[in-house]
Structure 1
Amino acid sequence: MNKYTILLFFIFSLFVSLLKAQDFALFRGTVRNEQSGEPLPNANITTYKPTTTSVTDVYGQFILKTLPEGTYEIQISAIGFKTIKQKINILKNDRSTYDFLLTPTQEALQTVEIFGRKEKSYTNNQSFIGSKTETKLRDLPQSVSYATKELIADQGLMRVGDIVKNFSGVNQFTFYDDITIRGFRINGGSNTQLVNGLRTTTGFWKQPLANYLERVEVLKGPSSALFGNSSPGGVVNRVTKKPLDETRKSLQFAVGSFNNMRALADFTGPMTSDKTLLYRLNIGYENAQSFRDLQFDKNIVIAPSFSFIPSANTRLNFDMVYNDSRSRLDRGQSVFANGDLYSTPISQSMSTANDFLNEQTYMITASLNHHFTNDLSFNASYIKTGYAEDLSEHRSANAYAVDGNGENIDNMVARQVFIRNRKRFMDNLAAFFNYQTRTGTILHKLVLGYDYAQEVLPVGGSQLTASGYRNKDNTGTIARFNPAKIADYMLDSQGNPIPNVSSFDLSNPLKSQQLQDASKYFFASTLVAPTYYHLNAFYLQDQLTFGPLQLLLGLRYETYKDIVNYKTEKADNVYQDVLLPRIGAVYTISPQINIYGTYVQGYNPQTASALSNPNAGGPFDPLENDMTEFGLKTAWLNGKLQLSTAVYQINQKNTLYAAPTADNADLLEQIGKERSKGIEFDIQGQILPYWSIIGSYAHNDAKITHGANNEELNRQKPNAPKNTANLWTRFSIPKGAVKGLGIGFGTNFVDKRNLSLNQDQTIPSYTLFNAALYYTIGKVQIQGNFNNITNKTHWVGGYDYIRLFPGTPRNFLFTLGYTF
């Protein structure tokens, strides 16, 4: 036995002797919800003089074993409940179990999200997205990924497209508001994204900003049974920050690579002494250049929110988000026609100095929650979205320039010009009743609701397009070059056709990127056709609980109306309807472990133009999809660390393919089928009070199983990597000389992908490494984020080798924050 072993044995023996010398008493108990009688996990128990703390487990139970006999003042608190304080005598031989009942505060009774979330961690235990009412995520029979505002802040993020890299099975498709979930694409123009659980729309080109968001959630799989037509991969829900009943104020200023500068403010608190009126105001300003030539973003965001609580049973909330954006539209990187991905720098873009994209977006939300009794409530939410686009751009014509023989010129990309104005407006109303009752030992949570949504693209949208090649008289253009008719074209000194818009020279880009004189172009004017659709839906859902088993049964009936040739004499209504079931089950194996299974169906209406074209061969059924998913959700360390896994298969059918014949060029066939299956793992939360983590891995096999072109069958779907993995962790030093110092580290892996328009072209896999340093002293926090530390050249998506979307090279962001 060496001297170190003897020393350790001596220290251990001394420690045991000291423990035995103490007359420790036992203090244990259970904390419950006063109204429902259910145990409260994660409640905090604090004793004073001496100060000790404990946290209840999933059964609401706690135990303190190291208190000397005596009288103590104790405090019991839980988020959403009134804190209680009382004195208690603790005796050495007393084996009593104490029961404590906490009264819910108003914020604990939410069935629509009106009050803000007070936690300050990577963990969010509750969500409204999966069941139309506040539900524990571990009790939801479907996979949900999320990122809290704390994670967003720690990673220094400002775009939703960057946030989703933390989610299993989710990755970017392009630069834009455009992502892939489990192999299926969704984007801001698809009308299926959600804000506060309500349907909204954006302009597609710019990713939503994140400074006004409480969290970002993704409900995986078809969600039509809850929200109407949506992607079979899932829906993204952006939850805005809501007012708190306590005063919090913060300011942030940040500077970073590529002349990036931002200033953010977040103020919240009560506006009246009785806290019946609460407010929150988020303001953001961003002025950032880019690693991409000529690209920039200027954004002003104003996001006020007000909550009014006239009584214990009634709550109202008003939300608004206004974003004024000035930028250029980046259509991606082009490489030489020889297909060498590295033949041009990732900084090279097709834009010119007089291009611009100006956008204004507003979202106004009003919500009402009224409790008639403790078991019956009514909820209504309405959102109005407005979007305006003013665009002028030089972009690729999706082809290389050609010589007099019709052959590609290796270093020249054909260009075109778009000048466009359009607007879009969307309304969504959701109203539902929640009713809780029992039949014997079975607890029912019933939801009966109605949804209405409409979208209008009004009259006035139009576009000027300059493209093609100049005719021999220079009086107009010809759309495509035909070498057999070369005499019809204007030719240069080398015998090549002269384009309407000069081609982009990849080997000498500066001349192509300078100011261009649009007056020299021949423009064709086209109408951005006005459109209109609306939907009506009724749904019924029951969450049944008996013992350790919970069942979720839902049914939604939806009618969808689309007007083809809207605002013309040929206007015609096109109707579709669908009945969508949802079945799920959750079984609690132990306080830490739940297993679940679910089957859900979804749909996407076919477009009115396809359905109403008399030559298309319709009518056609909507796109139909379904998902079967099984999973495991666990909570550890008193619920502070969540681990989950899911296996799934998603099927979609009724995709339309062109099937022209000699007699009918417009004929369509509804033969397309797609299948996505895979497995996902997620971990999120706290390992220690000062050590947070989020990580995921996903394997996704997403293929077209039936289509018009046999070459595309059994090939991985576009921009859908087979494997992705993500990890981010932060550790803060809680005490000592360097108290307040923190460090963060993360990595992202994305597998190689097929491109969408040319699946013979691929982009390679990549692994990125990121890091961060934090230092907090009093009310001041200094933060530095360092991303893509190894300066890895990579691409986040693409259509083909003319439109590639490169990822950001090595970059940094320094942030100074102040809370008061």
Structure 2
Amino acid sequence: MKKALLAAIKLLLTITCLAQQPNYGSIKGQIRTKDGKVAEGVSIFIKELNRTTIANNDGVFKLNTIPEGTHTLIVTLVGFTDIEKTVVVKANEITQVDLQLAISNTELNQVVILSNKSAFKTNRVSSTLRLQSSIIEIPQNIQVITGKLINDQQIFDMLEGVTRNVSGVTRNEHWDNYANIFMRGSRVAPFRNGMNVSTTWGPLTEDMSMVERIEFVKGPAGFMLSNGSSSGLYNVVTKKPSGRTKGEASLTLGSFDMYRATIDLDGKLTDDGKLLYRFNAMGQAKNSFRDFDYNNRYTIAPVLKYLVDDNTSVTLEYTHQFSQVNMIGTNYVFSKKGYADLDRNFTTGEANFAPTNMNDKSLLTILEHKFDDNWKFTGQAAYFNYTQVGMSMWPDGITGDEENIMARRVYLSEDYATAKTGQFFINGEEKTGSVNHKILAGFDMSDKINYYDWTQSALISDLDIYNPVYGTVSAEEMPVFDRSIDIKVRGLQYKNAYNAFYLQDELGFFDEKLRLTLAGRYTTIKTSTIYSGEFKASKFTPRIGLSYSINPNTSVYAMRDQSFTENYGTDWEGKSFDPLSGTNIEVGFKRDWLNGKWNSVFALYQITNDNILTADQEHSIGTQQFSKQSGQQKVRGFEADIRGEIAPNLDVIINYAFTEAKVSKDSDPLLIGSQVSGTSKHVQNAWLNYKIDNGSLNGLGISLGYQYQVDRKPWFASDSAIQLPDYFRLDGGLTYTKNKMTFNLIVNNILDKYLYSGGYYTYNETYYWQAEAGTNFRLSVGYKF
């Protein structure tokens, strides 16, 4: 691997040395709308060079080190007609370009904000969050991870380094199929295009090849989206047609025999530009630092958008993700003696284990209609289907004089889940006297059903964990589970449904400097299981927020909001749990620095959660584990997020979060005051990227970043005293861009640390953990056309 790294670095240095040095000039300008207002956050793209910049808060932009000659500028901002302008650049001169944007009659509010092409910072949320204000004006902490940043960091799915880019967000251990993301004291709900896609164990985590951006909304968000947890949600926004003809392809080679290819095609299917398309596809074959382990995937995501007329559009999106892994659970390490007692490449798997196959399919339809310049209707409906067929591995225990003999038990692992979701809402602006109103009103509904079966199991050959000998499990020894009965009949069933009405009015006073948000949501939740029948509950959750702009670049806010969500599962008697409820109180400070080059957000909050599930030790026996509604948890914290260009060509992400999450009420007095499972008290991350834009090294970029977590509590731990060690991971990379080609080398875990997360089971007195790979690399080559 070291030889491969040295060869890749030499290749990049050779390319830079061979780069020609033409005569350079600059392009500078200001962009306004037709009514004379400055257009902040506009994307300015040089077609021939694949160079992009973003206009600051005064609409001013500048592009340096542009080769002498004729170039084409493409200027884009959501809701406005694109501009293509030919510009002649002369050596050692600044070419002045001032432009005006006109409101588009055909590009209805895109699901993706086309202007946000900067690597780190963006000014607006996507339309799937339904808000009409800029991020600095919203009385809530919302952090956006752009598609360009995802590409630069070579993040391929939610299980990788996404969490480093947002304060206080961590990934807890689990299998290779879904992302178990924690923030503000609990697991955050996974959303896709504004829809809650969580199931009991799914869905399959999104591959980043089809993702435009990821938005982390902190705190309750029921006022603008379907039900999410009190800690917040992450919203994966998939790529949609842009109306411009373009494409991109990439190839990646990496450690552990990784081979990956992606393609992204975007354009028009008809000459009149009414029928648009977007097509993304990905294929990946990857082994692991553990023997016999692998993760082979493919993704297909076609999208069609039809512009019926100047005011109406229809979008149809289909997504199919497939993943094949070795038997689930073989990537865990077990010991009676303590964490990190075995090599990180230890596995309980075997070469002849049958794979587990996962399929995630979804169909999304969006109807958008503009009544006029102030009012718009959006309706969207989706169908999600997730299947998992295979087996899983979990030990009965570890025995022997040296505590070395593991009894390996293989379980049937099968899951079938479907979800139907519908959302209808209107956005509008009106004025009453001197008060401006931004109105959001809508109706949400969802119906989810999940069948799973892991009731069948069998023991196979024991394994000496300190001297493992593989290949002893014959084909005859492997169990053959009975799948003759449909899983909808034999499987354990969870059914969760809800419907809700909501209304929000953001009132703007004193020329929009002071903004008061008043909102309410009435939600009815229905759950049912094969044990307890149907459970139904309703609740009204109000929201009040206040945001004040001290100046155009600085704002302060305060808010109070509530959440009300389904509580998956049943207790030992098979009875459904009451819904989860949470109340969040928050204050914050937001500022754009250097007139929008970089921004900062600082927030203080307190969340009170009720009806929290904890382990039911009284009724849990062996592998039969139950949960109970233990009472209440309180989470207090401070968050700081800084992102953007803090100096010429130097982009940074720096964040820190202090999280004090404690059990405040519980039937077990010993648990009161203990740290909530899955939380880290201190989380601090940084990512720095410096790009050279002149001289012989023009186009070369250097990145370095780390993730640091302190006082980590295991996600699933029966013993409140068990803690995980502190976590520190250092990553870095080199990039080189020349015209339409980009070379990207990323090295993860540079210090080769033994990193893991896990817990302790009291029922068999065993430590378990899931290790990360040691030093590893990825080298990607991308071409835009």
TM range (shorter): 0.7 to 0.9
Q: Distance in 1 between matches of 2:361 and 2:84?
A: 46
The amino acid that maps onto 2:552 is P
Aligned to 2:337: 338
Aligned ranges 1:12-51 → 2 under 5 Å: 31-32=32-33, 34=35, 39-42=38-41
Are 2:480 and 1:551 aligned?
Answer: no
- Report how many residues are paired: 708
Question: By how many angstroms is 1:346 displaced?
Answer: 0.9
Q: Distance in 2 between matches of 1:369 and 1:388?
A: 31
Q: Which runs of 5+ in 2 are unaligned?
A: 1-27, 46-51, 63-71, 86-96, 620-624
Whether the aligned pair in 1 keeps the contact of 2:140 and 2:218 (CA below 8 Å) is yes
Distance verdict in 2 for CA 1:119–1:520, change over 3 Å = closer
Distance verdict in 2 for CA 1:144–1:722, change over 3 Å = same
Cα deviation digits, residues 143-184 of structure 1 (max 9, x gap): 112211111111111011221222111101114434343343
The amino acid that maps onto 1:732 is K
Whether the aligned pair in 2 keeps the contact of 1:581 and 1:601 (CA below 8 Å) is yes
Whether the aligned pair in 2 keeps the contact of 1:719 and 1:797 (CA below 8 Å) is no
Question: By how many angstroms is 1:59 displaced?
Answer: 5.8
Aligned to 2:660: 701
Whether the aligned pair in 2 keeps the contact of 1:276 and 1:309 (CA below 8 Å) is yes
Q: Distance in 2 between matches of 1:420 and 1:75?
A: 54
The amino acid that maps onto 2:193 is N
Whether the aligned pair in 2 keeps the contact of 1:505 and 1:512 (CA below 8 Å) is no
Are 2:705 and 1:735 aligned?
Answer: no
Q: Distance in 2 between matches of 1:266 and 1:374?
A: 32
Question: By how many angstroms is 1:238 displaced?
Answer: 0.5
Match of 1:582 among 543, 547, 554: 543
Are 2:677 and 1:684 aligned?
Answer: no
Question: By how many angstroms is 1:108 displaced?
Answer: 7.0
Question: By how many angstroms is 1:660 displaced?
Answer: 7.2
Whether the aligned pair in 2 keeps the contact of 1:128 and 1:135 (CA below 8 Å) is no
Q: Distance in 1 between matches of 2:472 and 2:681?
A: 37
Q: Secondary structure at the match of 1:554?
A: strand
Whether the aligned pair in 1 keeps the contact of 2:108 and 2:311 (CA below 8 Å) is no
Aligned to 1:197: 194
Q: Distance in 1 between matches of 2:29 and 2:125?
A: 31
The amino acid that maps onto 1:641 is W
Match of 2:708 among 740, 743, 749: 749
Aligned to 2:495: 532
Whether the aligned pair in 2 keeps the contact of 1:457 and 1:531 (CA below 8 Å) is yes
Q: Distance in 2 between matches of 1:106 and 1:702?
A: 49
Aligned ranges 1:484-499 → 2 under 5 Å: none
RMSD: 3.5
Identify the range of structure 1 (707-716 vs 553-562) with the bigger mean alpha-carbon deviation: 707-716
Aligned ranges 1:373-522 → 2 under 5 Å: 373-397=372-396, 399-401=397-399, 410-457=403-450, 462-463=453-454, 465-467=456-458, 500-511=459-470, 514-515=473-474, 517-518=476-477
Question: By how many angstroms is 1:438 displaced?
Answer: 0.3
The amino acid that maps onto 2:534 is N
The amino acid that maps onto 1:772 is G
Match of 1:804 among 738, 758, 769: 769
Aligned to 1:783: 744
Distance verdict in 2 for CA 1:316–1:118, change over 3 Å = farther
Q: Distance in 2 between matches of 1:362 and 1:214?
A: 18
Question: By how many angstroms is 1:32 displaced?
Answer: 4.1
Q: Distance in 1 between matches of 2:472 and 2:376?
A: 60
Distance verdict in 2 for CA 1:124–1:391, change over 3 Å = same
Q: Distance in 2 between matches of 1:205 and 1:335?
A: 27
Whether the aligned pair in 1 keeps the contact of 2:44 and 2:76 (CA below 8 Å) is no
Aligned ranges 1:128-143 → 2 under 5 Å: 128=126, 132-143=130-141
Whether the aligned pair in 2 keeps the contact of 1:31 and 1:56 (CA below 8 Å) is no
Distance verdict in 2 for CA 1:266–1:294, change over 3 Å = same
The amino acid that maps onto 1:164 is T
Cα deviation digits, residues 16-70 of structure 1 (max 9, x gap): xxxxxxxxxxx99993453xx7543346999xxxxxx99976466899xxxxxxx
Q: Secondary structure at the match of 1:225?
A: coil
Q: Distance in 1 between matches of 2:302 and 2:472?
A: 40
Q: Distance in 2 between matches of 1:503 and 1:235?
A: 42
Match of 1:719 among 678, 684, 707: 678
Q: Distance in 1 between matches of 2:743 and 2:392?
A: 39
Q: Distance in 1 between matches of 2:192 and 2:283?
A: 21
Aligned to 2:277: 279
Distance verdict in 2 for CA 1:732–1:128, change over 3 Å = closer
Aligned to 1:472: none
Distance verdict in 2 for CA 1:233–1:793, change over 3 Å = same
Are 2:763 and 1:814 aligned?
Answer: no
Q: Distance in 2 between matches of 1:439 and 1:611?
A: 56
Question: By how many angstroms is 1:579 displaced?
Answer: 0.7
Q: Distance in 2 between matches of 1:129 and 1:184?
A: 27
Aligned to 2:19: none
Distance verdict in 2 for CA 1:205–1:313, change over 3 Å = closer
TM value normalised by structure 1: 0.79
Question: By how many angstroms is 1:388 displaced?
Answer: 0.9
Question: By how many angstroms is 1:512 displaced?
Answer: 6.9
Whether the aligned pair in 2 keeps the contact of 1:466 and 1:523 (CA below 8 Å) is no
Q: Distance in 2 between matches of 1:31 and 1:522?
A: 67
Whether the aligned pair in 1 keeps the contact of 2:504 and 2:520 (CA below 8 Å) is yes
Cα deviation digits, residues 60-104 of structure 1 (max 9, x gap): 6899xxxxxxxxxx9996623346799xxxxxxxxxxx9986322
Distance verdict in 2 for CA 1:373–1:716, change over 3 Å = same
Q: Distance in 1 between matches of 2:582 and 2:572?
A: 19
Q: Distance in 2 between matches of 1:601 and 1:733?
A: 47
Aligned to 1:268: 266
Whether the aligned pair in 2 keeps the contact of 1:118 and 1:244 (CA below 8 Å) is no
Distance verdict in 2 for CA 1:416–1:642, change over 3 Å = same
Q: Distance in 2 between matches of 1:118 and 1:43?
A: 8
Aligned ranges 1:641-652 → 2 under 5 Å: 641-652=598-609
Whether the aligned pair in 2 keeps the contact of 1:184 and 1:232 (CA below 8 Å) is no
Match of 1:710 among 650, 669, 679: 669
